[in-house]
Amino acid sequence: MEKEKDKEKESHFSKVLGPMHIWALGVGIVLVGQFMGWNFTISKGGSIGSIMACWIIGIMYICLIMINTEMGSVIPEAGGQYAMAKYFLGPLAAFNMGLMLVFEYVMLEAADALVVGELLKTLHPDIDPLPYIILSLLLLTYMNYKGVHSTLNLNIVLTGVSFLTIIVLFFSTKFYSPENSLLNLSKLTNGLPYGWIGIIGALQFGCWFYLGIEGTTLAAEECRSKGRSLPLGAIAGIITLIIGATITWYVSSGLVEANTLSKSVYPLYDASIATKIPVVIKLLFIGTLLSCLASANGCIADASRAWYSMANDTLIPESFAKLHPKYKTPYRAILFLMPISLAFGFTGLLDQVITFSILSALLAYIMTGYMMFKFRKMYPIGSIKRGYVAPWHPLPSIIVLVLVFVTLIGMYFGYFINIVSGLIFYLLASIWFVMHRSKFLNYKSFISIKNSNWPRPKGY
């Protein structure tokens, strides 16, 4: 009996996170999207299509945060949307959700590595960025290996400094003084060259402003108080990102000509160069670099926890479901995923890597929107204690589902092959799971409710 208690104790994460850590995890992963990637919205929808996509997708993510946080504040284990799918949809859906989350974050980490490499090349054409990228990822992997608390404390610093550099760039343009302002939106922007269809096309990369903020629920089991930390951290995070995204579009579009901006690997850094202010240029170089590191740091934390949760439920080999006996981190999952993200990062195909990350996320959002309907049906208000209640149900779920489908339609313009390839990949993975891996699944353990306070679902 004593050994069983010790084993159970070892399998639990340390509960050390508060609202600021959740904010740092969410914003830290996403803020890099304001330093790179978002500008592809301009190539698909023009300058006006870009800012419209920013705000429309912002509404989608507000709704996603609302439904995500309600379900996440109740789920009694790590895994975020994966754990939700496990409890509300079953093994096959949980397997796909876990895989989508892993590839969403692994591909985002790969994009971070790619941008770091391109940024370092600006220092000198003979610089080989590979050693620096590998060293950075090894350091971040080591920090995640040692513990999530110190990792996310680092993210608070990295994210705060990165966001501050955006504010510095904003004020350096003297936007508040029309006579002395460096901004010239009327001359440098290109409006809406493809009409309303351009707005739909831009929605795809509009996701890059916010993609990853939903990963805050992946650390739910490590929160001191889920009911307080998840809502406060996630809501503060999405507000931070919407403000930052609007400033980013405004400053970049007013400093860099639209055709140049739409192809840039590091748009905010290019915008700083346009100011011709040395201090600002150096700060944005640092900000872009730190945002990539903060994003990669958060991606390692989120992807490894999704992979760990899948292994813990025997959806993938159980050898990955091992927590470090001292640091209480999913160290095997952390070490396994690092070289995969690094390999994708050095394909050099930034928009392709971003697109696969976005596609994986959108498919996960479809499942999340559906799960909210099923969750409210299984556990109506009052039947179970919630740390947060999403208002206006079912409107947030409907908005998420509608905007996801519209975004997928927009992705069709230019990235049809990517959509087909991604869907084939997840289809083949599902076939592998049904035909092979499901034989190793312990169904009794998989569907057991670990929290004894949960009542039996209504109608089950």
Question: What are the pLDDT digits (tens) for 440-450?
Answer: 887 766 765 55
CA distance between the termini of the chain: 32
d(CA 394, CA 67) in angstroms, rounded, equals: 9
Which tens digit of pLDDT belongs to each residue from 96-155?
Answer: 999 998 998 888 888 888 788 888 888 877 887 777 777 777 877 887 887 766 666 777
- The mean of the pLDDT values for the chain is 84
Question: CA distances (Å), 442 to each of 246, 438, 447, 460, in order?
Answer: 48, 9, 9, 20
325: helix, coil or strand?
Answer: coil
Q: Residues of the chain with pLDDT > 90: what percent?
A: 39
124: helix, coil or strand?
Answer: coil
Please choose, from the candidates 455, 367, 384, 459, the residue with its C-alpha nearest in 3D space to the C-alpha of residue 68: 367
Q: Which tokens is 216 given?
A: 């805050």
Collect all residues with Cβ–Cβ distance below 8 Å to 277 and sequence separation of at least 6: 172
d(CA 450, CA 167) in angstroms, rounded, equals: 45
pLDDT class of 5 with cuts at 50, 70, 90? very low
Look up the CATH number of domain 19-446.
Answer: 1.20.1740.10
d(CA 70, CA 42) in angstroms, rounded, equals: 34
CB 258, CB 35: distance < 8 Å = no
Q: Stretch 247-252: mean pLDDT, rounded? A: 96
Q: Residues of the chain with pLDDT > 70: what percent?
A: 89
CB 58, CB 208: distance < 8 Å = no
